[in-house]
Amino acid sequence: MKLTITPNAQQWFKNEIAVSSDSGIRFYGKIYGKTDVHEGFSIAMSVEAPDQPLVKEVIDGITYFIEETDDWFFKGYDLLVDYDEEKDEPEYKFAKNEEDLKQ
């Protein structure tokens, strides 16, 4: 599994979300909604400290992560977090990761 934050998304997070040095931005699956690979589930985010990150990316002092407990939602996919200018919010894109399924 790979987590990628685009520069435009990074700028949005820096401008819109207050993150202290001891916390980060967690991405996880939640009930209700829809993604391009999950029916009945969508992606949520929260500001919290990493506990047992499955994957994390640190950019300009901000930690972005997915916890091990959310493996069920992201298993077999890479997550790209981009920015949607029209909606002025993050946009989430999944890409299959066959190597992730073998582990």
Give the C-alpha separation, 31 to 41, whole Å. Answer: 5
- Give the pLDDT confidence score for residue 82 in this predicted structure: 95
| Tokens, residue 48 | 């919290």
Whole domain around residue 76: which residue ranges?
Answer: 3-102
CATH label of the domain that carries residue 78: 2.60.300.12
> How many domains would you assign to the chain?
1
Give the C-alpha separation, 27 to 73, whole Å. Answer: 10
- Summarised one tens digit per residue, pLDDT across range 17-60 is 888 778 899 999 877 656 666 666 678 899 999 999 999 999 98
Give the C-alpha separation, 75 to 102, whole Å. Answer: 10
- Give the pLDDT confidence score for residue 79 in this predicted structure: 93
- Give the pLDDT confidence score for residue 34 in this predicted structure: 60
- Give the pLDDT confidence score for residue 40 in this predicted structure: 63
Secondary structure of 6-50 in HEC code, one letter for each residue: CHHHHHHHHHHCCCCCCCEEEEEEEEEEECCCCEEEEEEEEEECC
